[in-house]
Structures are given as structure tokens and as C-alpha cells.
Amino acid sequence: MHMADALLSPAVGGTMWAVTAGVAAYSIKKVQNELDEQKIPLMGVVGAFVFAAQMINFTIPGTGSSGHLGGGMLLAILLGPYAGFLTMASVLVIQALFFADGGLLALGSNIFNLGFYTCFIAYPLIYKLIIRKGYSTGRIFAGSLLAAIVGLQLGAFSVVLETLFSGITELPFSTFVLLMQPIHLAIGLVEGLVTAAVVAFIWKARPEIIEKAALGEKLGGLPIKKVLAGLAIVAIITGGVFSWFASTYPDGLEWSMLNTSGKEELEAPDGIHQTLVSIQEKIAFLPDYSFKKVSTDAHEQKVSTDAPETEEAWPAVDAGTSVSGLIGGAMTLLLAAITGLIIRSIKKREKASAV
């Protein structure tokens, strides 16, 4: 559900940048009291796992569409809403800048749509409400599933509203919303099941991680090396190998756009849109999670347009995809960890100045 710049007007894109920056600033202020030496690496490793998991699109049977794990609900449950939101921002910044996944103008919207609703609405109002009577496998499963579905539904509806306010006439509200909500309901169901499985596993291995995140407490001296190692290994395997098995069908947003306008992508208008596209093309060294294609010679013989199209191979064994998964996960881990260290440094300076 990564929006491209062509789906937003500069006014809406800029507004969402400002709103998201405000939420991030609020999260930085609130998260200072719960960050410690243990939670910072956890932010990095869980962020790397979410980056890798987002590379794998799964087919939605009978639709010709696919979806992928959003990860916001998982981040909120394991890290708490504030650290979860900041980690989601780290994931999406890396994706947009270096892999051209989601536009730069749309970055504020993408962070808000995938992070805000899960971390600040679905997590506290649904997940925590369900597990408030005590933790159990059943409550974790029900809370994760329902919260993930609701969070994704709100995010999908937010996409529709943002295109409406941007005046994107190719995507009329009534048709677009009637396609976006059902397909993301199916995607949310799968995401909820995956989230529940991961959370249940971690709860059995180290329940204090989830319990302390819900209470907004520091992890303290809690031994979490095994959890970190396990998540890191899964992230490496997911990004390096499992990414080959991603569905070739368009994702829920592209599918909805195709069935609404006849196009999976809209052309970005001139002006600021093209400027940002040009900047992104220069920065992204692994666009679309693959090596950049070398431009062919202008006099190279072209294949006839009458030639039959060849189907894409599946699984798509591609070194570029593996490199993207590994480098992207490492960059996300580093950015999330640096974010945590900066926040802790700010907290220490504030304490020192108050003395």
C-alpha cells in the first residue's frame, strides 16, 4: 500500500508530511522514558524483519491481486506505539530513498497510513482492550488478528481520502473505495494471522518483551539475545531467499487502481512531482529491489511488438532481489538503531541541563 507521488497533490502531500512530522516529534518525546540499551537493538532487528517481510507479496486467491505484511501492528505490539511508529518510519524512509518503493512526496502519507492507525488506534483501542484481562495464546491471536484488520482498513480508507482531496479524477471515490476496502480486508486477514503467529512465538519465548511494551516500560536487564538472533536470522532468510517467491500479481492498491482507472500506475504531472521523481531516481541504487538496468544502445534491434510476451518466471531467483533484501534490512536496522541512540542522547542532555 505504498502510494506513488502521482496519487497526491502537492498540498495534500505537504500536509501529510507536516502531520507525520508532528506525530514523529510526539513519539520521540514520549518514547524517551522507555528506551534503554536493550530496546534500541530490538527496534533495529524488528525493523529489519518488517523490511524483509514487506518484500514478499502473497497472492489473494480468486482476485488476481496480492498483498504484503504492513508490519505496523507487529511493531506496536513488540516495541510499543511510539517506538513502533518511529521504526515504521525508518522502514519506509529506506524503501523510498534507496529502493524507489513509494514516492518522496507521498512518504508522509505512507508513514501515516501504515504507522499511525496501527500504532495509535488499532493497538491501544483493540489489541490492548482484548488482552487487558491477561495474556493467553487465544487473546493474543484474537487481538492481533482484529487489530491488524482494522488498522489496514483505516489505512486503505485514508489512501482513498487522500486521492479524493488531491483531485485525482481517474480514481472516483465511490468506485475506488468499493475496491480498496474489500481487497485490503483479505490482505488484513493474512497480515493478522502472520502477526499473531510471530507475537505468540515471542510471547512464549520471552513474554516480558510484549508485557513491558504494553506498559511503556524499559526492558532493563531482560536477556533478549536469543530473540534478537532469531529475528535477525529470519530477516536474513526472508530478504535473501523467500523474497524470490513473492507473487507477481499487483498489490491491493495497484489492483484497485487498475480496476478503477484501467491503469496500475498514474503518470506524475510536471513540476514538483517530476522534480521529486528525478531526485529519487538518482538516489535509489536498487530500484524496485533489483539492480539498475543498463540502458541499451539506441541502435539495438528492437523485438517486434507482435512477439508473444513471455511469462515471468516463478520463483524469481534474482541476485538483485537478494542483495536488496540483505542491504535494505541492514540499512533499516542501522537507521532504527541510530534513531534510538539519538533519542537517548537527547534525553541525557535534558537530564544534565536540568541538574
Domain boundaries, the chain: 5-277+326-354
**Each residue's pLDDT tens digit, 184-197:** 999 999 999 999 99
Which residues, in sequence order, are CB contacts of 109 under 8 Å at separation 6+?
A: 3, 8, 12, 13, 16, 20, 158, 159, 162
pLDDT for the residue numbered 349? 84
pLDDT for the residue numbered 160? 98
- Helix (H) or strand (E) run with residue 76 in it: helix 72-79
The letter for the amino acid at 42 is: L
Which of the four CATH numbers 3.30.70.1170, 1.10.1760.20, 3.30.1540.10, 3.40.710.10 does domain 5-277+326-354 have? 1.10.1760.20
C-alpha cell at 269: 504531472
**Each residue's pLDDT tens digit, 232-286:** 999 999 999 989 999 999 999 999 999 999 999 999 898 999 999 999 999 999 9
Nearest Cα residue to 93 out of 338, 347, 343, 348: 338
Burial of 306 (0-12, 13-18, 19+ CB in 10 A): exposed
Mean per-residue pLDDT for 105-113? 98
pLDDT for the residue numbered 37? 80
- Which tops the pLDDT comparison, 152 or 33? 152
